[in-house]
């Protein structure tokens, strides 16, 4: 079975550092106010956000 990245690379150029967002994994509930989301990129740093009510 081909990887998702291989299929995407057939229609667009992927470069080092590109991110392929695939959505939320099964079983993960919705974010609620007060939840904290952190994204880290090795060698660059992290971004932290707290979910607030819209």
- What pLDDT, on a 0 to 100 scale, did the predictor assign at position 1? 56
Q: Are 46 and 37 in contact (CB under 8 A)?
A: no
Identify the burial level of 42 via C-beta atoms within 10 angstroms of its C-beta, where 0-12 means exposed, 13-18 middle and 19 or more buried: exposed
- What pLDDT, on a 0 to 100 scale, did the predictor assign at position 26? 83
- What pLDDT, on a 0 to 100 scale, did the predictor assign at position 47? 96
| 1-54 tens-digit pLDDT | 578 889 999 999 999 989 898 888 788 888 899 999 999 988 999 999 999 987
């Amino acid at each position: 079975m081909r990887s998702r990245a291989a299929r995407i690379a057939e229609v667009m150029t992927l470069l080092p550092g590109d991110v392929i967002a695939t959505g939320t994994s099964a079983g993960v509930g919705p974010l609620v106010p007060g939840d904290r989301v952190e994204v880290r990129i090795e060698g660059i740093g992290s971004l932290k956000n707290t979910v607030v009510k819209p």
